[in-house]
Amino acid sequence: MSTSSGAQIDVALNSVFASRKRNPIEEEKSAQVAISPSNFQVYAKIEEQSRKDNRLVASFLITLNEARGSITYEFRGVCTIAGSSADFESVMGSNKDSRVPKILDIIYQRMYPVVFMLAGMTMSPYPQSVGLLTEMVSSEPIQVHQEAQPLTKQEEQPQIPEHVATEKPAKTDPQVIAEAPKATIAKMKKQPQLSAGGDDSKPTIVK
C-alpha cells in the first residue's frame, strides 16, 4: 500500500485474538445474536525496531474494546515502511488537528476487514467507523479478558507431602547386618591307643 507521501507500507499480522464476554440471559432470549456496529475504544503500542537506509520496521499491538465490554479484539504484528527519511517522519507523525499517528490509522484500516470477519465468527459487535477517529483512541492500556476455567479437584495433580518428599533413606546399621554363618568342620574323635601289656590279644596278621 502506498500513501500520499510516497512511502510503501506493508503490514504483517503475527497473532489475532478475540475474547467475547458471554451473557447467558441474552443467549436464552435469542439463539442467534445479530452482529451490529458499536462504539469501540482503541489502544495502540507502536515501537520502532530498526531504521536503516530506506527501510523502517516497527512492531505494533492494537487492542479494540467494545464500550460495554462485550468483545475485545487484539492484533500483534510488524509494519514495514519503505521510503525516505521525510516519508518516515510523515508516516510516524500525526496531523495538526489530530493526535492519532498516521501509521496507526493505516494499520487500523488494514485490520478492519479482519475485525469484521471476527465479529461474524463470534457473533459480536464491530467498530462502526472504518477510519480511526480521535475520540476512539485511548491513552490507557485495555485489559484483555480471558475466560480461563480453574482446574477441578479431579483434574488437579496430586501433591507429594513434604515429609515424604524430603525424607532421606534410612541408614543401615553395620551391627544389624547378619553375618554369614561360618562353615563348621567336624572333628574326628581320636581313638584311644592300646597299651603294650594291657591286652593279651594280638592282632592277627594274614599272610
d(CA 148, CA 55): 41
Instruction: Give the mean pLDDT of 110-117.
Output: 94
**Spatial CB neighbours of 142, under 8 Å, sequence gap ≥ 6:** 41, 43, 63, 64, 65, 72
Q: Per the domain annotation, does 104 fall within a domain?
A: yes
Q: What domain count does the chain have? A: 1
Q: Is residue 147 part of a domain?
A: no
Residue 107, domain member (yes or no): yes
pLDDT band for position 29 (cuts 50, 70, 90): low
Q: What percent of the chain has pLDDT over 70?
A: 59
Is residue 187 included in any domain, yes or no? no
Instruction: Output the pLDDT for position 207.
Output: 47
Higher pLDDT residue, 154 or 40?
A: 40
Q: What is the CATH number of the domain that holds 81?
A: 3.10.420.10
Three-state DSSP class for residue 101: strand
Q: Are 126 and 37 in contact (CB under 8 A)?
A: yes
Residue 174 falls within a domain, yes or no? Answer: no
Range of the domain at 72: 8-133
Round the average pLDDT of the chain to a whole number and report it: 74
Higher pLDDT, 188 or 95: 95
Domain contains 88: yes
Determine, yes or no, domain membership for 204: no
The secondary structure of 104-154 as a DSSP string is: HHHHHHHHHHHHHHHHHHHT--EES-SSPPGGGB-SSPPPPP--PPPPPTT
In a domain, 87, yes or no: yes
Angle in degrees, CA 80, 84, 90, rounded to 5: 75
Q: Looking at residues 27-51, what average pLDDT do you find? A: 79
Q: Is 86 helix (H, G, I), strand (E, B) or coil?
A: helix
